Amino acid sequence: MKCSHRFWPGALSTLVLGCGCSSPEYAKEVNACEAGHAQACYVVGRRLRSGTGINKDAQTAAMYFRRACELGEAAGCIALDGGSD
């Protein structure tokens, strides 16, 4: 069974369905991002882009990088522009 992501517009949130592909650290990072912690948004974006602990999802990764950038995390802006992270 392949895991999938669902992005709910308006509430920056990724729900991982089935097969236990999400780690507790990932869930904490998502929650921290939703609470406005820029670095957590960046870390979630990196996990999603690389597939670390979760299936790769470049589109959702970009949403998290954008949120990190909006919150003042320069690394999120760089990653959003295609730079190295």
**Stretch 5-14: mean pLDDT, rounded?**
44
pLDDT value of residue 38? 97
pTM attached to this predicted model: 0.74
Residue 85 covered by a domain:
no
The stretches of the chain forming alpha helices (DSSP H) are: 24-34, 38-50, 58-70, 74-80
> What pLDDT does 82 receive?
81
Number of structural domains found in the chain: 1
Domain that holds residue 23: 4-80
pLDDT recorded at residue 22: 62
**Per the domain annotation, does 66 fall within a domain?**
yes
Contact status, residue 41 vs residue 73, Cβ threshold 8 Å: yes
Mind listing the pLDDT tens digit for each residue in 11-53?
444 444 333 456 788 889 999 999 999 999 999 999 999 988 7
